[in-house]
Amino acid sequence: MESEKFSNLSNPEVLLGLKSQHSSSKMSESSEEAQIKPQYLDKQWQWAYPTVEGIPPSPRGGHTATLVGASLVIFGGHYYAGKKEGFVYLNDTIVLDVNDNRWYRPRINGTPPAPRYGHTSVLAGSRVVLFGGRGANSAHFRDLHALDPVTMTWYQGPEGGNAPGGRLDHSANLVGSKMFIFGGWNQDIFYNDLHVLDLALMAWTQPETSGPSPSPRMGHVSVVVGTNIVIQGGFYFDPKKHEDGGLRMGSMLKECYLNDLRVLDTETLVWSRLRVSGTPPYPCYGHTMDISGSDIIVFGGYGAFQKGTETKCDYFVDLNTDTMTWNRGNYIGTPPPPRHGHTSTPIGPHVLIFGGWESTKAMNDVVVIREISDAKDAK
């Protein structure tokens, strides 16, 4: 509904939500002190390329990375092996021990999911829950799997019912005991539907939503702030618009890359826009978005990017929630070239990036962004 054009998530609500989830800072509950003052407009990060012991995973993109305690669990993905072999789809489970800075391959029990990429995973209690993705012969999965990270045992979830149709490059977010699936693509259809899996009941529903919902899309990113899901970017090709519009393919494809920002209130199921200023991330898909302290940072993506330098990087952007303003990231060091289909995982003041594609080249390196600025209260 147009009257509900902008989200109620504005500063200070966003900042308070981020602080309560991801910061050890204590904030007063009094109404006077809850008015957030601008604090650190010159936030800064540092790029690092750590040496990791052990045998790394094979290069890949479209995998998932799920943090369980001090273990980062990597599953699946795919890479291009040349004209003879084509794309190779993976279903290996590899773990990075963050404390020991070492890769290892655990002994796997049970039957792992079929090889795939473009799937999603969330940590729900003591289980890594995996949904969807795409495999060989254009198979689009709608199956559900769970990994016990202690015994390293894979379990098959219930099939059929009201589960979403098979898809890849959707988003999955855990809010309470419910997993929210939004969007994705199945080679024929771009989705903007919302599906909810109640993990306590193991039951799927497709609830109705209201408000200005996002357009259909794939390759978008999402984060949870309190009980709200923030969606950004992605890719959507509308063949009817192309047929009716008479646009040249180049112009049409340029319009397919998205950089809008929407918010879903998971309690009321109302979509809304988020009121922000500044220059947003360039339209792209296959990027990542993470919460770092009280900021939301966006990295990478497939779009019209130039390789970053020590002074400029168009594919590293942060949303300062003190001012609700997009800014190009302020950093030290040289960022990696633009990549998409990677994963990024917040670990304390760090965000750990693994894999992805640099153009068509699959990667298996580890890159770290570390926040090196400290928040200082405004005087």
Q: Give the pair of three-digit tokens for residue 252.
A: 């049409």
pLDDT value of residue 185: 98
Q: Does the pLDDT at position 35 exceed 50?
A: no
Residues 50-65 pLDDT 10s: 999 999 999 999 999 9
Residues 206-264 pLDDT 10s: 999 999 999 999 999 999 999 999 999 999 998 777 665 555 555 667 789 999 999 99
Residues 303-320 pLDDT 10s: 988 888 888 899 999 998
Q: Does the pLDDT at position 282 exceed 80?
A: yes
Q: What is the sign of the dihedral through the CA atoms of 82, 86, 87 and 91?
A: negative
Residue range 312-335: average pLDDT? 92
**Look-up of token digits 């199945």:** 186
189-195 contacts at long range (C-beta below 8 A, 24 or more positions apart): 189/165, 189/216, 190/216, 190/217, 190/218, 190/236, 190/237, 191/164, 191/165, 191/167, 191/216, 191/218, 192/216, 192/217, 193/164, 194/264, 194/269, 195/162, 195/163, 195/164
Say what the pTM is.
0.89
pLDDT value of residue 243: 66
* Amino acid code (one letter) for 306: Q
Q: Does the pLDDT at position 144 exceed 60?
A: yes
Q: Does the pLDDT at position 189 exceed 50?
A: yes
Q: What is the sign of the dihedral through the CA atoms of 153, 158, 162 and 166?
A: positive
* Amino acid code (one letter) for 31: S
pLDDT value of residue 33: 33
**Look-up of token digits 């219930």:** 158
pLDDT value of residue 103: 98
Mean pLDDT of the residues in the chain: 87
pLDDT value of residue 7: 58
**Count of CB atoms situated within 10 Å of the CB of 351:** 21
**Look-up of token digits 């309190």:** 226
Q: Does the pLDDT at position 352 exceed 90?
A: yes
pLDDT value of residue 79: 96
Residues 92-106 pLDDT 10s: 999 999 999 999 999
pLDDT value of residue 370: 94
Side-chain-facing half-sphere of 273: CA atoms under 13 Å: 13
CB 369 within 8 A of CB 47: yes
Q: Whole-angstrom Cα distance, residue 292 to residue 283?
A: 22
